[in-house]
Amino acid sequence: MTSLTIKDLHVSVETDDGARPILRGVDLTISSGETHALMGPNGSGKSTLAYAVAGHPRYDVTSGSITLDGVDVLEMSIDERARAGLFLAMQYPVEVPGVSVTNFLRTAATAVRGEAPKVRHWVKEVRETMDQLSMDPAFAERNVNEGFSGGEKKRSELLQLELLRPTIAILDEIDSGLDVDALKVVSDGINRVRATGETGVMLITHYTRILRYVKPDQVHVFAGGRIVERGGPELAEALEAEGYERYVGRDLASAGAN
């Protein structure tokens, strides 16, 4: 079992007006085989947490720690983190002009697996995974995320997740912009990954919709740059009914007290 441990994490984002603190002491542990949901209002810092774990250069860890089975993740470069088993499905996947999905996937798989996958196996593996995600094979020849619809981008993130088989996967709003059918396809993909028992999944989401298909073991409520409440799946139901209002209020109070 592998565990990602985040302790008292403080993160600032670089803006034109200087560093702006976003995360104010995040504590979270997630282990392979588990599924967590991280829910919170817009702007609360969920994506910032995801980026900080993945090592985006714009996000600066000012204090706290991130470790993977005790190994300091903050010391690793972005690509080392990925090769160590971390994966981030991005809320806004980036277009890479002139780089085909095929080329990208193969290069990534080669890097993560430590050797180039055998061509015949690989082609079959990609084709089957795309098929399970209801992706047109022609997709592979397109440039990474270029001109993809919102739903296509999310499927493409999931395709990468399934092919790269990380030990810890953070899925940042993988459910946004999906219609019901696509949500089902994407959820099935996540569940396939969970079924291996080898991947810990953190679903970042606003809505409980996806949690009907992907049952979380734990739910964390995120507000004002930190986790303000934890519970089981029932917490998600409560959030759906009541919204985030009371957490936002509480956060302002505690932020004022700091």
Partner 1 sequence: MTSDVPAVDRSERTRSLDPADFAIPLGREEEWRFTPIGQLRDLLTDDLDAPSGSGSVSLDVKAPNDVKVERVSHRDGRRDARLGAVGLPGDRVAALAFAGSDTATILTVPQDTQLDEPVVIRAHGNGTPGADFGHLLLHVEALSSAVVVLDHVGSATYADNLEIKVGDQGHLTVVTLLDWDVDAVHLSAHHIEVGRDARVVHVVVSLGGEVVRVTPEVTFAGPGGDVELLGLFFTDPGQHHEHRIFVDHSEPHCRSNVNYRGALIGERAHSVWIGDVLIRAGAVGTETYEINRNLLLSDGPRADSVPNLEIETGDVASAGHASVTGRLDDDQLFYLMARGIPEMEARRLVVTGFFAELRDRIGVPFVTDRLKSALETELERASAS
Closest to partner 1 by CB, 54 or 140: 54
Closest to ligand ATP by CB, 58 or 230: 58
Closest to Mg ion by CB, 106 or 220: 220
SS3 163: helix
Closest to partner 1 by CB, 38 or 86: 86
Closest to partner 1 by CB, 11 or 144: 144
Cα gap 187→202, rounded to integer Å: 13
Closest to partner 1 by CB, 144 or 239: 144
DSSP state of 93: P
Please state the closest distance from residue 92 (CB atom) to ligand ATP, in A: 9
Please state the closest distance from residue 206 (CB atom) to ligand ATP, in A: 6
163 half-sphere exposure, CB direction, 13 A CA radius: 33
Please state the closest distance from residue 112 (CB atom) to partner 1, in A: 4
Burial 91-105 (b: 16+ CB within 10 A, else e): bebeeeeeebbbebb
The residue within the footprint of Mg ion, chosen from 47, 145, 160, 208 (CB under 5 A), is 47
Please state the closest distance from residue 207 (CB atom) to ligand ATP, in A: 11
DSSP state of 210: G
Closest to ligand ATP by CB, 46 or 154: 46
Please state the closest distance from residue 181 (CB atom) to partner 1, in A: 27
Q: Which of 59, 12, 52 is nearest to 28 (CA)?
A: 52
15 binds, among partner 1, Mg ion, ligand ATP, none (CB under 5 to 8 A by kind): ligand ATP
Binding mask 58-97 for Mg ion (x = CB under 5 A): ---------------------------------x------
Cα gap 75→93, rounded to integer Å: 25
Residue 184 near residue 210 (C-beta atoms within 8 A): no
90 binds, among ligand ATP, partner 1, Mg ion, none (CB under 5 to 8 A by kind): partner 1
Question: Does position 187 bind Mg ion by CB under 5 A?
Answer: no
22 binds, among ligand ATP, Mg ion, partner 1, none (CB under 5 to 8 A by kind): ligand ATP
Q: If you write DSSP's letter for every residue of 33-70 in order, what string do you get?
A: T-EEEEE--TTSSHHHHHHHHHT-TTEEEEEEEEEETT
Q: How far is CA 163 from CA 7, 124, 234, in A?
A: 30, 12, 32
Residues with Cβ within 8 Å of residue 90, at least 6 apart in sequence: 50, 157, 172
Question: Which residues form the interface with ligand ATP (CB under 6 A)?
Answer: 13, 15, 22, 40, 42-48, 58, 91
DSSP state of 159: H
Residue 12 near residue 25 (C-beta atoms within 8 A): no
Question: Which residues form the interface with partner 1 (CB under 8 A)?
Answer: 54-58, 77-79, 81-83, 87-88, 90, 93-99, 103-104, 107-108, 111-112, 143-144, 160, 164
